Amino acid sequence: MTSRGDADEGTAARPRVQSAARTVAILLAVARSDRGLTTKEISEQVGIGRQTVYHLLHTLTETGMLARGGDGRIILGLNVGSLVAGFDRQLSPSERLAPLVRRLAQETDETSYAAGWHLGEITVHAVSRGSNPVQAAETPLGFTGLAHARASGKMLLAMMPADERARYLASHPLEPVTGHTIVEADAFEKEMGLVRERGYATDREELAEGVCCAAVPLDGGRSPYVLAVSAPRARFEENFERDLAILRKVAEVSFIELLKS
């Protein structure tokens, strides 16, 4: 039988858990924004009332996790730097993502990758070779650059706000890598729209002749990482639907749960 004290404790615990979840949601919303957010924008994006937002913002600003910019918008506070440093120190993306990439390679028999943002660049964080005798050329661990020609890069770029993507591309030109690389700005933006609509990105011989790749976001786009599979063109086209389904299944893992593993 549950005692009254236990019931009261359980009832009291729920708001605290909900409050913590809302606090984290606000932090993530501000972190994903380009110039910070207004209180109204936070309320709309997170889906909670303005009054509750005010209360949570008070705590977040008092603790240095958020701050008010000169224009009154809510931006990240200085104490967030400690979280970033701690993440880099304690939770190496390569170590956490490697098991997923190995599973992907085992299930598809193709070379598989995980990629994400690191110091402003789209970087390969984990690689695992497939078991097929003939494999696609392997992109090395730590590889950056040519994001516009890589399925993983296109997926991550498509997930960005348009103005943020434009700034990235201003310093990372759409240079031709092969005859299939998209190099026109309008065509690339159209490709970004298709990627968002489909929920996956492809590179059909855009990075290397005869090699194709597909990528999907990890945890439904709630994390800054993507998973990708690469294969010779003929096998890529033949197994595309199967490999895409495997990609999506493996990528369903919760990023929060992944960090706990």
Q: What is the pLDDT of residues 148-196, one digit of tens each?
A: 999 999 999 999 999 999 999 999 999 999 999 999 999 999 999 999 9
pLDDT confidence band for 17 (50 / 70 / 90): low
| % of the chain with per-residue pLDDT over 90 | 64
Average pLDDT over residues 114-121: 88
pLDDT at residue 215, rounded to an integer = 98
**CA atoms within a 13 Å half-sphere pointing along the CA-CB vector of 134:** 8
- ∠149-153-155 over CA atoms, to 5°? 115
Give the start-to-end residue ranges of the domains of the chain: 4-83, 91-260
3-state DSSP assignment of residue 101: helix
**CA atoms within a 13 Å half-sphere pointing along the CA-CB vector of 245:** 4
Answer whether 4-83 and 91-260 agree in fold. no
pLDDT at 33 over 60: yes
| H-run or E-run covering 154 | helix 151-158
Q: Is 0.75 surpassed by the pTM of this model?
A: no
pLDDT at residue 2, rounded to an integer = 42
Which CATH number describes the domain made up of 4-83? 1.10.10.10
Token representation of residue 57:
């913002």
| % of the chain with per-residue pLDDT over 70 | 85
Average pLDDT over residues 46-52: 93
Superfamily of domain 91-260: GAF domain (3.30.450.40)
